């Protein structure tokens, strides 16, 4: 930074003048009332340090509010993040509306603490609040590293004290085998076969919507090669795409009792331009419609809970975790973690039976 320091006597004291070049223009910072060099030197050093940071910021970004910058961040990230990831950032930003009008360089703990308090008051989980603050920190890092708008990140989650909350174990929802068969008996058409593939084959919603009438659906051999899913793309449309993880690529057996009906359905159903056998444009449409139907039938569950049902039926019938993980396209560790309470229930049931017979 180009700058010059000069002095002059004014009002029985000394006035310090710092002339500095900001782009193509020379500007000034002045302060008067000093009596000795010892008094004005600290002010000069501090002011010059501040100016060195300030003049690096492009004029267009000076005074920019957080609300304005977050739009720039989202526009930048839409080119590299998936639409779902961008939506997660947008959700996080709704919790920080109070700083939208604050200049981004001035955001501090005093502005963020009320946002934190509101989230705690609204009953958000600690993990959720931490995730939202992480998204906010990433946004500020973008301002620091990419635009040089600010020097320090104001987000430090260690500053915030979370209330002590009793942790409750979250259990997955699952139907019994009788309840699953009862639900299927009340469905018809495409919704019936969709739920067969969810509850009797353990497939995910997007995987089922991604089934096309090609060699991957091998009804003659009673198997489905799961190798694509219907999902939101980077341009925010929906299309066939890759699966959730590498483990998701798998071959799933179809129970023999449902193969004749599936053959008739595939032969006669309306298909879309991609040759999909289930043609909802959005996964959310499928989810909302089926959840509504389930509730009317007396079952307060989601489509994904049919996948849970599939797993729990396999566990209760003695399938090992490795086989189950391969069938549902997950890891053994995740299966154990997600369904551990079902094995505990089975153990308690075994204890009761042993007490009765031994």
Model pLDDT for residues 62-102, shown as the tens digit of each residue: 678 999 999 999 988 887 777 878 888 999 999 999 999 99
* pLDDT at residue number 23: 63
- Mean of the per-residue pLDDT values of the chain: 88
* Low-confidence winner among 20-29, 234-243, 286-295, 338-347 (lowest mean pLDDT): 338-347
* pLDDT at residue number 20: 76
Nearest CA-CA partner of 339 in 225, 100, 242, 330: 330
According to DSSP, residue 103 is labeled B
What is the value of pTM for the model shown? 0.58
* pLDDT at residue number 69: 94
Q: Is 298 left (phi over 0), alpha (psi -120 to 50) or beta?
A: left
* pLDDT at residue number 233: 78
Pick the more confident residue, 356 or 271: 271
Angle formed by the axes of helices 126-145 and 66-77, to 10°? Answer: 90
* Low-confidence winner among 114-118, 168-172, 245-249 (lowest mean pLDDT): 168-172
Pick the more confident residue, 352 or 243: 243
* pLDDT at residue number 217: 92
Average confidence (pLDDT) over 324-343: 87
Over residues 17-41, the pLDDT tens digits come to 888 777 667 778 888 888 877 788 8
Over residues 94-104, the pLDDT tens digits come to 999 999 999 99
10 pLDDT more than 70: yes
* pLDDT at residue number 272: 93
> Quick one: pLDDT band at residue 1, thresholds 50, 70, 90?
low
At residue 188, the 3 state secondary structure works out as coil
153 pLDDT more than 60: yes
What is the largest distance, in Å, between two alpha-carbon atoms of the chain? 105
> Quick one: pLDDT band at residue 342, thresholds 50, 70, 90?
low
> How far apart, in Å, are the Cα atoms of 88 and each of 36, 135, 286?
57, 9, 21
Q: Could you tell me the sign of the dihedral formed by the alpha carbons of 162, 164, 166, 167, in that order? A: positive
Over residues 193-206, the pLDDT tens digits come to 999 999 999 999 99
Pick the more confident residue, 317 or 185: 185
Percent of the chain with pLDDT over 90: 59
> Quick one: pLDDT band at residue 8, thresholds 50, 70, 90?
confident
> Quick one: pLDDT band at residue 353, thresholds 50, 70, 90?
low
* pLDDT at residue number 148: 82
E strands, the chain, where? Answer: 3-10, 13-22, 25-34, 217-218, 223-226, 229-232, 238-241, 250-253
Angstrom distance (rounded) from CA 184 to CA 37: 88
* pLDDT at residue number 278: 97
List Cβ neighbours of 16 (8 Å cut-off, separation of 6 or more): 5, 6, 7, 30, 31, 32, 34, 40, 43, 44
Angstrom distance (rounded) from CA 17 to CA 5: 6
289 pLDDT more than 70: yes
Percent of the chain with pLDDT over 70: 89
């Amino acid at each position: 930074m180009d700058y010059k320091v000069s002095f002059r006597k004014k009002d029985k004291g000394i006035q310090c003048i710092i002339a500095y070049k900001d782009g193509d223009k020379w500007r000034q910072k002045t302060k008067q009332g000093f009596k000795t060099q010892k008094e004005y030197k600290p002010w000069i050093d501090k002011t010059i340090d501040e100016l060195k940071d300030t003049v690096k910021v492009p004029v267009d970004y000076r005074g920019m509010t957080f609300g304005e910058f977050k739009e720039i961040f989202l526009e930048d990230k839409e080119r590299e993040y998936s639409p779902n990831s961008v939506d997660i950032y947008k959700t996080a930003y709704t919790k920080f509306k109070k700083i939208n009008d604050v200049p981004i360089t001035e955001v501090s703990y005093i502005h963020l603490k009320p946002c934190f308090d509101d989230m705690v008051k609204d009953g958000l989980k600690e993990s959720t609040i931490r995730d939202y603050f992480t998204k906010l920190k990433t946004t500020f890092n973008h301002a620091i590293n990419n635009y040089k708008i600010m020097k320090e990140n104001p987000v430090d989650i260690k500053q915030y004290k979370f209330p002590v909350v009793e942790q409750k174990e979250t259990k997955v929802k699952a139907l019994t085998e009788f309840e699953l068969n009862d639900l299927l008996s009340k469905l018809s058409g495409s919704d019936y076969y969709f739920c067969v593939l969810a509850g009797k084959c353990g497939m995910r919603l997007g995987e089922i919507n991604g089934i096309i009438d090609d060699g991957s659906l091998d009804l003659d051999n009673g198997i489905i090669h799961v190798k694509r899913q219907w999902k939101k793309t980077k341009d925010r449309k929906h299309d066939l795409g890759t699966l959730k993880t590498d483990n998701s690529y798998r071959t799933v057996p179809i129970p023999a009792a449902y193969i004749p009906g599936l053959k008739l359905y595939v032969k006669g159903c309306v298909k879309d331009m991609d040759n999909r056998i289930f043609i909802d444009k959005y996964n959310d449409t499928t989810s909302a419609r089926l959840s509504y139907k389930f509730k009317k039938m007396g079952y307060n569950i989601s489509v994904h809970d049919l996948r849970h049902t599939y797993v729990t039926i396999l566990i209760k019938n003695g399938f090992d975790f490795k086989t189950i993980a391969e069938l549902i396209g997950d890891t053994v560790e995740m299966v154990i973690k997600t369904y551990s309470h079902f094995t505990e229930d089975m153990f308690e049931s075994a204890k009761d039976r042993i007490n009765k017979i031994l």
